[in-house]
Amino acid sequence: MTDTTRPTADATEAQPSLLSRFLRDTEIDTRLLGMAGALVLIWVGFHFYGAIFKGFGAFLTPRNLWNLSVQTSSIGIMATGMVLVIISRNIDLSVGSLLGVCAVMMGMVQVYWLPQLVGLGNPMIWVITGIIGMVMGAFIGAFQGWLIAYREIPSFIVTLGGLLVWRGCAFLMNRGETISPLDENFTLIGGGPYGAIGATGSWIVGLLGCAFILWGLWNGRKQRIAFHFPLRPVWAEMFLAVLGCGLVIGAVLLVNSYEWPIGIVRQYAAAKGLTTDPANLHISYGFAIPVLILVVVAILMNILMTRTRFGRYVFAIGGNPEAAALSGIKTKWMTVKIFALMGFLTGLSAIVASARLNSATNALGELDELFVIAAAVIGGTSLAGGIGTIFGAILGALVMQSLQTGMVLIGVDAAMQKVVVGAVLVLAVWLDILYRRKTK
Amino acid sequence: MAQNTATPLVEMRNISISFGGIKAVDHVSVDLHPGEVVGLLGHNGAGKSTLIKCLSGAYHADQGEIFINGEKVDIRSPIDARSHNIETIYQTLALADNLDAASNLFLGRELVTRSGFVDDARMEAETRKIMHRLNPNFQKFNVPVSALSGGQRQSVAIARAVYFNAKILIMDEPTAALGPQETEMVAELIQELKKEGLGIFLIDHDIHSVMKLCDRASVMKNGQLIGTVDVKKVTDEDILGMIILGKPPAQAA
């Protein structure tokens, strides 16, 4: 049975174990906690495997974790959208191809067309290009959503068709040629030494993050008092505040401890005409721009899912489509909007992915749909619909990326990597089923 | 009955609807007065639920007219129905199992804060209030409704209808999935709502509960209305005859 009463009410009941009391009082989602635990296990496992068998633990280094964060961004951004698609009992197999076609379009816009219109290196190029990519993604997504909702073609088929169609279009648009290099400002969005915000910027972001966490806890408590709902014990609130802020500050310290390689520093010093010896210049990377994009997307998407009517309706459609329709929710129009949002995020992800490679090719994003779906599902999104969280999906993306990176670092060959990733996906879903059965 | 001379709260006149050539409802007329419970009886597939879905906005009738308080209305969607204070408790309850009681109660009509976000705290507080009135034992506010018992789920569905000041309530087999005690609770609630002046359409299979709860009963068979009777003036056998044989009532109601 699920416990609905809170600490104040059940003092007379039998004392539950220390751990379950702790979890109940802090209201930490055990599922999310389990995922975070699995992630830590993967990280520590790869690190010590490397340390023991290869003589060097490369995983838990600022450099690797920074790269991991950048590599997770593209899949993570799309995974937040896939959560909505899967919650509403649909699937989108076309995101990888859609990413490819958006990237090629943006490549052509910023390299072939815009420089002729506004001049090479114009600071508006990346803005216009980005908007075109995201709008294109949203339109294609909306079109697929329309086919699914109003023409009643199953989403599996529509997006399977899309998988082929958009990949083909990406090739046709530029005859399969790679477009590179891209606009200089545009490539900053992909990360890299210049595509990060530096030590000071990272501290500002970190402190804002802490303020946000504290405000959130404070506001939540105020609301509960206003409506006479049971409160978390003060120690639990404190614990959450310390944990949240600790994680944020830890992340800042981590990204700031990763410094520019000497070559880049020399280049930078020369460009700026600095007289200091480059060896004495310690310049931190700080948070990479794509990671910040992912964080902002995650926060906004989480607000969308938990605090708006739109999000409530997505869950309702997934829980019981008929009931949702009878409640006056326009379920078909919702489907179009959900797929348009997925397309928009895919366009955004295409910006990040192509900017990171400083090139746009028709092969960009191949197999991404599978990683995105896997991230969402590992993150606890139920394929039966109705259940899923944004943060879970991002943790899922991080798990997938950690596995891949870790295997590369310890020298597992490519074929074996596929075997492991595939097996982990199935295992994760099985564990999830067991977990849900137990907590029901 | 005296009240029958006044303007009916609801009047459905000559309603017809067909699906793929099959007439699910064939020129049926029923009416409902304030403070009255009208039972709709008939076999499975007789057209009761289909008829009532034309009133709740789930279907749109091919022919016929609906009058609310004597005014002709056009109900094309559940939202239209709600704007006329028509609330429906569906046989399936129409609850989203993955959401909690408050989210279900306010589904499609969420309370929002000034900044436009859903106001979960206020919705939960309101839900606690109404549930306290309907089912004081109800405590499970923070779990998905899939974790509730049949009776608890029923009370969430009823709360949804009652909370929004329904004037016209449609109940589609409200006691089908309930135990005797919970059935009794629903019966008491119907009496209470009746006193408040609501008009209730009650679809039911069980003749005895109809005889007990309803003022009048309309019997349907094969999409057609066999007749409407005053339950106090007829016997169980009369109604059974109407349901099974399609035999028109001896007396007009």
Rounded distance between C-alpha atoms, residue A419 and residue B86, angstroms: 57
Rounded distance between C-alpha atoms, residue A307 and residue A312, angstroms: 8
In a domain? residue B17? yes
Mean pLDDT of A277-295: 91
Mean pLDDT of A79-85: 97
Min mean pLDDT across A99-103, A317-321, A426-430 is at: A426-430
Residues B108 and B147 in one domain: yes
DSSP, residue by residue, A238-288 = HHHHHHHHHHHHHHHHHHHTSB--HHHHHHHHHHHT--S-GGG---B--SB
CB-CB under 8 Å, A325 with B124: no
On whether any CB of chain B is under 8 Å from the CB of A322, the answer is: yes
Number of domains within chain B? 2
CB-CB under 8 Å, A315 with B98: yes
Under 8 Å between Cβ of A399 and A38: yes
pLDDT of the residue at A439: 67
Q: Outline where chain B has alpha helix (H).
A: 48-56, 78-83, 101-105, 120-134, 150-163, 180-195, 207-213, 236-245
Q: Which residue, among B60, B87, B98, B129, would best test binding to A if mutated, counting the most A CBs under 10 Å from its CB?
A: B98
Give B4's pLDDT tier (boundaries 50, 70, 90). low
In a domain? residue B199? yes
Q: What is the pLDDT of residues B12-46, one digit of tens each?
A: 999 999 988 888 999 999 999 999 999 998 888 88
List, in order, residues 6 or more apart from B56 with CB less than 8 Å away. A326, B75, B78, B81, B86, B88, B170
β-strand B168-172 against B37-41: which pairing, if any? unpaired
Give A440's pLDDT tier (boundaries 50, 70, 90). low
On whether any CB of chain A is under 8 Å from the CB of B142, the answer is: yes
Compute the mean pLDDT over every residue in chain A, rounded to the nearest whole number: 91
Q: Which positions in chain A touch B56 (Cβ < 8 Å)?
A: 326
Q: Which positions in chain B touch A324 (Cβ < 8 Å)?
A: 96, 107-108
In a domain? residue B141? yes
A382 three-state secondary structure: coil
pLDDT of the residue at B158: 87
A382: closest chain B residue by CA: B98
Residues B47 and B171 in one domain: yes
**Is B112 a residue whose pLDDT tops 90?**
yes
As separate numbers, helices (DSSP H) first and strands (DSSP E) second, chain A gives: 18, 0
Q: Tell me, what's the ipTM?
A: 0.87
List, in order, residues 6 or more apart from A266 with CB less than 8 Å away. A278
Phi/psi for B64 (5° steps) reads 105, 170
On whether any CB of chain A is under 8 Å from the CB of B83, the answer is: no
On whether any CB of chain B is under 8 Å from the CB of A327, the answer is: yes
pLDDT of the residue at A79: 97
Residues B129 and B230 in one domain: no
Q: How far is CA B34 from CA A209, A216, A372, B78, in A?
A: 57, 48, 56, 21
Residues B12 and B81 in one domain: yes
On whether any CB of chain B is under 8 Å from the CB of A300, the answer is: no
Residues B172 and B161 in one domain: no
Phi/psi for B17 (5° steps) reads -150, 135
Q: How far is CA A206 from CA A211, A239, B91, in A?
A: 9, 18, 52
Instruction: Give the closest of A4, A226, A312 to B103, CB-based.
Output: A312
β-strand B216-221 against B37-41: which pairing, if any? parallel
CB-CB under 8 Å, B94 with A322: yes
Tokens representing residue A284 in the block: 């931190």
pLDDT of the residue at A41: 94
Q: Which positions in chain A touch B78 (Cβ < 8 Å)?
A: 325-328
**Is A28 a residue whose pLDDT tops 60?**
yes
Q: Which positions in chain A touch B118 (Cβ < 8 Å)?
A: 307-309, 312
**Is B3 a residue whose pLDDT tops 80?**
no
Instruction: Give the closest of B58, B116, B125 to A326, CB-based.
Output: B58
Counting one residue from chain A and one from chain B, the pairs whose CB atoms sit within 8 A come to 89
Under 8 Å between Cβ of A401 and A71: yes
Closest Cα in chain A, distance from residue B103 (Å)? 8
Residues B160 and B212 in one domain: no
Residues B20 and B78 in one domain: yes
Closest Cα in chain B, distance from residue A286 (Å)? 33
Domain coverage including residue B142: 97-165
Q: What is the pLDDT of residues B34-92, one digit of tens each?
A: 999 999 988 888 888 899 999 999 899 999 999 999 899 999 988 899 999 999 988 88
Under 8 Å between Cβ of B28 and B62: no
Q: Outline where A358-413 has alpha helix (H).
A: 368-378, 390-409
DSSP single-letter state for residue A329? -
pLDDT of the residue at B251: 54
pLDDT of the residue at A269: 86
Of B144, B165, B186, which residue is a domain's last? B165
Q: Which positions in chain A touch B107 (Cβ < 8 Å)?
A: 312, 316, 323-324, 327, 329
Rounded distance between C-alpha atoms, residue A10 and residue A6, angstroms: 7
In a domain? residue B90? no
> How many other C-beta atoms are found inside a 10 Å radius of the C-beta of residue A138?
22
CB-CB under 8 Å, B77 with A328: yes
Rounded distance between C-alpha atoms, residue B185 and residue B64, angstroms: 36
Q: What is the pLDDT of residues A189-235, one digit of tens each?
A: 999 888 999 999 999 999 999 999 999 999 989 988 888 888 888 99
Q: What is the pLDDT of residues A262-285, one digit of tens each?
A: 888 888 888 888 888 878 888 999
Q: How is chain A split into domains, by residue range?
A: 29-196+288-439, 197-287
| pTM for the full predicted model | 0.90
Mean pLDDT of A168-184: 93
Residues B63 and B51 in one domain: yes
B53: closest chain A residue by CA: A326
Instruction: Give the closest of A4, A309, A387 to B98, CB-based.
Output: A387
Percent above pLDDT 90 for chain B: 40
On whether any CB of chain B is under 8 Å from the CB of A387, the answer is: yes
Mean pLDDT of B104-112: 93
Tokens representing residue A81 in the block: 């959208």
Q: Which positions in chain A touch B58 (Cβ < 8 Å)?
A: 325-326
In a domain? residue B91? no
Residues B190 and B252 in one domain: yes
Amino acid at site A400: M
Q: What is the pLDDT of residues B177-224, one digit of tens each?
A: 777 887 888 888 888 888 888 999 999 888 888 888 899 999 998 889
Three-class SS string for B140-209? CCCCEHHHCCHHHHHHHHHHHHHHCCCCEEEEECCCCCCCHHHHHHHHHHHHHHHHCCCEEEEECCCHHH
Angle at A243 between CA A241 and CA A245, to 5 degrees: 65
Instruction: Give the closest of B108, B125, B142 to A328, CB-based.
Output: B108
Closest Cα in chain A, distance from residue B241 (Å)? 34
Residues B34 and B103 in one domain: no
Q: Which positions in chain A touch B109 (Cβ < 8 Å)?
A: 327-328
CB-CB under 8 Å, B97 with A320: yes
Compute the mean pLDDT over every residue in chain B, rounded to the nearest whole number: 87
On whether any CB of chain B is under 8 Å from the CB of A222, the answer is: no
Mean pLDDT of A340-354: 98
pLDDT of the residue at A15: 64
Q: Which of A245, A228, A247 is nearest to A237 (CA)?
A: A245
* Most confident listed range (A112-116, A139-143, B217-221): A139-143
Amino acid at site A188: L
In a domain? residue B142? yes
Give A12's pLDDT tier (boundaries 50, 70, 90). very low
DSSP single-letter state for residue A13? S
Of B165, B194, B224, which residue is a domain's last? B165
Under 8 Å between Cβ of A215 and A237: no
In a domain? residue B47? yes
Rounded distance between C-alpha atoms, residue B211 and residue B15, angstroms: 25
Which is more confident, B172 or B135? Answer: B172
CATH match for A29-196+288-439 among 2.40.70, 1.20.120, 1.10.3470, 1.10.10: 1.10.3470
Residues B49 and B31 in one domain: yes
Rounded distance between C-alpha atoms, residue A338 and residue A318, angstroms: 12
pLDDT of the residue at A108: 96
Rounded distance between C-alpha atoms, residue A107 and residue A114, angstroms: 10
Give B1's pLDDT tier (boundaries 50, 70, 90). very low
In a domain? residue B92? no
Under 8 Å between Cβ of B13 and B66: yes
Q: Which residue, among B92, B95, B99, would best test binding to A if mutated, counting the most A CBs under 10 Å from its CB?
A: B99
Give A6's pLDDT tier (boundaries 50, 70, 90). very low
Neighbour-count burial of B246, counting CB atoms closer than 10 A to its CB (0-12 exposed, 13-18 middle, 19+ buried): middle
Angle at B126 between CA B121 and CA B128, to 5 degrees: 95
**Is B233 a residue whose pLDDT tops 90?**
no
Residues B247 and B172 in one domain: yes
Rounded distance between C-alpha atoms, residue B47 and residue B44, angstroms: 8
**Is A5 a residue whose pLDDT tops 70?**
no
Tell the residue number behind the tokens 């078909």, with chain if given: A332
CB-CB under 8 Å, B96 with A320: yes
Helix A95-108 vs helix A125-149: angle between axes, to the nearest 10 degrees?
150
Under 8 Å between Cβ of A92 and A369: yes
CATH code of the domain containing B35: 3.40.50.300
